[in-house]
Amino acid sequence: MITELEGELVGSGIDWVDLKLVGVTVRVFVPENTVDGRNLTNGLLRVYTVFVIKDDSPVLYGFKDSETRSVFDSLNKVGGIGPKLALSILSKFDYNSLTVAVESGDVDSLSQVPGVGKRTASRIMLELSGKLQLQSDSDLETAEVESLVQALTSLGYSNSEVFKVINSGNISSLPTVEEKIRACLEILSAGG
């Protein structure tokens, strides 16, 4: 089983990357948001992989972290979802955005992914509910992160905007959740 690869990024498309590994180039199918500064260093890309054999054809799927790889595996266990649809879902939703959508029962957001109808979105909610935990790069407690996400998304900010501000570290020293929300709102309204 191939669980992780690191190689020179020699090509990429919307949903794939080519990695050169000691003279061999491997194509890995990835969500659109996989190549970023966290896993690309000096032209080397690290991805956490899942090796799938479908219709006698081996395919590697890669993700920027092990949590996203785990969600991919979980999505593949949901009836009616195969690797390509799971990859599409993870192209639209990062780990935290998917967690918020699942835990809040946001069927409409999930059903905006091509190939995911309301019935499939409901099945995803049912299968994954309670199995995902919000991940934050900040020093905040999970309950605080959940409160911040709920408050700021209810005001119309996207999950990715909210997590960018939370993970920036600019609010972790504030004592109360209310002050953290106020600081997040200031940062978001300033365009940051």
Average pLDDT, consecutive stretches of 10 residues, N- to C-terminus, the chain (192 residues): 88 88 91 70 85 86 88 89 91 81 81 90 87 62 75 79 73 81 85 65
Burial class (CB in 10 A: 0-12, 13-18, 19+), 48: buried
Q: For residues 99 and 135, give the distance between their C-alpha atoms in angstroms, rounded to a whole number.
A: 9
Which tokens hold the place of 46?
């690290």
Question: 140: closest CA among 162, 161, 166?
Answer: 166
- Per-residue tokens: 79: 């009836």
Separation CA 150–CA 154 (nearest Å): 6
Q: Which of 116-125's residues contact partners 24+ apart within 8 Å by CB, and which partners?
A: 116/85, 116/88, 116/89, 120/78, 120/80, 120/81, 123/78, 123/79, 123/80, 124/75, 124/78, 124/81, 124/89
State the Cα–Cα distance between residues 165 and 191, nearest whole angstrom.
10
**CB-based burial of residue 129 (10 Å sphere; 0-12 exposed, 13-18 middle, 19+ buried)?**
exposed
* Strands, E assignment, 134-184: none
pLDDT of residue 88: 92
Q: Give me the pLDDT at residue 19, please.
A: 92
pTM for the whole thing? 0.69
Give the angle 71-14-63 at the CA atoms, nearest 5°. 25
pLDDT at 38: 58
The pLDDT assigned to 169 comes to 66
Q: How far is CA 5 from CA 31, 66, 76, in A?
A: 16, 12, 21
Query: What pLDDT is attached to residue 178?
Result: 87
The burial class, CB within 10 Å (0-12 / 13-18 / 19+), for 57 is exposed
- Thinking of the domain 4-63, which architecture would CATH place it in? Beta Barrel (2.40)
The CATH superfamily assigned to 68-128 is 5' to 3' exonuclease, C-terminal subdomain (1.10.150.20)
* pLDDT on residue 179: 87
